[in-house]
Homo-oligomer: A and B are copies of this chain.
Amino acid sequence: MKSSPGDGRRPQRADARDNRDRLLQAARAEFDEQGPHASLNKIAQRAGVGPGTLYRHFPNVHALLVAIIGGDVEVLCAQGRELLEHPSPDEALRIWLRAIARHATAMRGLVATEMIAQPTTETSTALAACHQAIHATGTALLGRAQHHGNAPAQLDIADLLMLTNAIAWASEQTPADAGLLDRLLALINTGVPYPHHHESRK
């Protein structure tokens, strides 16, 4: 199978590249305003191109979303690498997870679904790369927190990322409650005490 033009590869012709950039910009704006149910037709219209052009550049919504979040993933991973120098490994992990959650929230759940979804399905290579990058960065941060911090050894980064995205999703569902994201993140940090705890609080 030959590579399709929507796979993240940039086209050669200048007008095509312009259109692609304008589409991405329009899509970002439209998703921002309309939420996940933004119409692709409207995105094309906003970018000043026909629907056909949109679908040649991005074969489906999936490809469009992956293209949008690709850059963000880059930024998040860079931030994660910086956080490896943070004095507190635990705090570093916490900060990074919060950054991911905030980003996912800003993207209105699109990211949550796309970024963490298991790469076993026939997702694009671009998505797999995003997934891989986040996963690798998280592994590094978690590993440090496990060796030099208080993170439990059996903790799995995939689960942790999943949980973080779930929280981001939840906080999107209730945009009225601005503090929800941080409250839930704090909740998973402290945890709901397990019945098998040995100390009693009374």
A-to-B contact residues, CB < 8 Å: 88, 90-91, 93-94, 113, 116-118, 120, 149-152, 155-156, 159-160, 162-163, 165-167, 169-170, 173-174, 176-177, 180, 183-184, 187-195, 197, 200-201
Select which of B150, B156, B165, B187 is within 8 A of A170 by beta carbon: B165
| A193 neighbours in B (Cβ, 8 Å) | 90, 149-152, 189
- Tell me the bound Cα distance from A144 to B66 in angstroms: 46
Given contacts A118-B174, A166-B167, A190-B194, could you give 19 more A-B pairs where the C-beta distance is less than 8 Å?
A88-B195, A94-B195, A116-B170, A117-B173, A120-B176, A149-B195, A150-B197, A150-B200, A150-B201, A155-B187, A155-B192, A159-B180, A160-B192, A162-B174, A163-B166, A163-B167, A163-B170, A166-B166, A188-B191
Q: Give the CA-CA distance A196 to B182 in the complex, in Å.
A: 16
Assuming the contacts A151-B193, A192-B160, asked whether A169 and B167 have C-beta atoms less than 8 A apart, the reply is no
Say how many copies of this protein the assembly contains.
Answer: 2
- Ordered by A's residue number, 12 sampled pairs between the chains whose C-beta atoms are within 8 Å are A88-B195, A90-B195, A91-B195, A117-B174, A118-B177, A150-B195, A155-B192, A162-B170, A166-B170, A187-B188, A188-B188, A189-B194
Are B151 and A192 neighbours in the complex by a CB distance under 8 Å?
A: yes
A119 → chain B closest CB, angstroms: 11
Which B residues are in CB contact (< 8 Å) with A200? 150
Q: A150-B201, A166-B166 are in contact. Are A192 and B184 (CB under 8 A)?
A: no
